[in-house]
Copies of this chain bind each other. A is one copy, B any other.
């Protein structure tokens, strides 16, 4: 199976003893895993494929190398020829706006592929986790980090509002909009303890290795549950975030009118009564 997951900027592995778990690693350690356009296009491919792969039930996302989960956007590349290259071009500003808008919407869609992915995604972060790291991790479901992590919503420091997802998702991820405003407006660094306190991450571990190991353990636990139940839970939580409670309840009712017909319910109920570990059909 792994053979069909051969990418240039991402390693996709299926670690032994972690049934139904995929481990995606950002693979550009020599540049602190900084992103440029080809990478986010490939990221979308990776997650689109995992989303429909019936052998995958939970996913861990981490960064290669000791220094960084990702240092964010590759600013040098961007300043040399990308969309941000030059604000003073002679092109009609309205026409330039059309191209910038298409560019931003496409970039957003690549990151949103993590949110759209039907399987839960657990991010394990360490070292520098700046700018795009926040956009990317807020599109995931669970965030873990190591003690040495250095977070920042870095975008205002390069003269722009974070437009790839942070400003839309971060206030819905953590509890305090006071805190979100402060870190988004000041671009200041914050560490693991603060991230834990405000609810941005779920837990802090000693180092990169232990963080990834904890992420794989959690992924394995989730992957051992009924995939019908797990994927329904992810979908309904995402829907509920964006709708009223009344709309959330109704959507859940319609969703479960099919999902409750699964044999997984009786399998799980029976295993529970018999103290056995249930097994579930592929999905």
Contact = CB atoms under 8 A, between A and B. Distances in A.
A271 to B, nearest CB: 9
A236 interface: yes
A79 interface: yes
For chain A, give the interface size range.
Answer: 35 or more
Interface in A87-118: 87-88, 92-98, 100-102, 104-105, 108, 112, 115
Nearest to A123: B178
B176 A252 contact: no
A141 interface: yes
Chain multiplicity (copies): 6
A175 B195 CA distance: 13
Interface string A248-275: 1111111111111111111111101100
Interface stretch (A14-22, A35-43, A237-245): A237-245
A127 interface: no
A11 interface: no
A92 B262 contact: yes
B201 A93 contact: no
A180 interface: yes
B97 A259 contact: yes
B185 A234 contact: yes
A183 B79 CA distance: 42
Q: Could you tell me the dominant secondary structure of chain A's interface residues?
A: helix
Contacts of A165: 245, 249
A52 B102 CA distance: 9
Given A172-B177, A266-B86, A233 B185 contact: yes
A229 B159 contact: yes
A64 B10 CA distance: 46
A222 B265 CA distance: 36
A273 B185 contact: no
A75 interface: yes
18 contacts: A79-B269, A94-B264, A104-B257, A104-B260, A105-B250, A108-B249, A156-B233, A159-B266, A159-B278, A160-B229, A161-B255, A163-B255, A173-B177, A174-B199, A186-B218, A186-B222, A251-B251, A258-B258
Interface of A: 52, 75-76, 78-79, 83-88, 92-98, 100-102, 104-105, 108, 112, 115, 120, 141-143, 155-163, 165, 167-169, 171-182, 184-188, 198-202, 218, 221-222, 225-226, 228-237, 239-270, 272-273, 278, 280-283
Nearest 10 pairs between A and B by C-beta? A175-B175, A176-B199, A168-B248, A94-B262, A161-B232, A258-B258, A242-B244, A97-B258, A159-B264, A159-B268
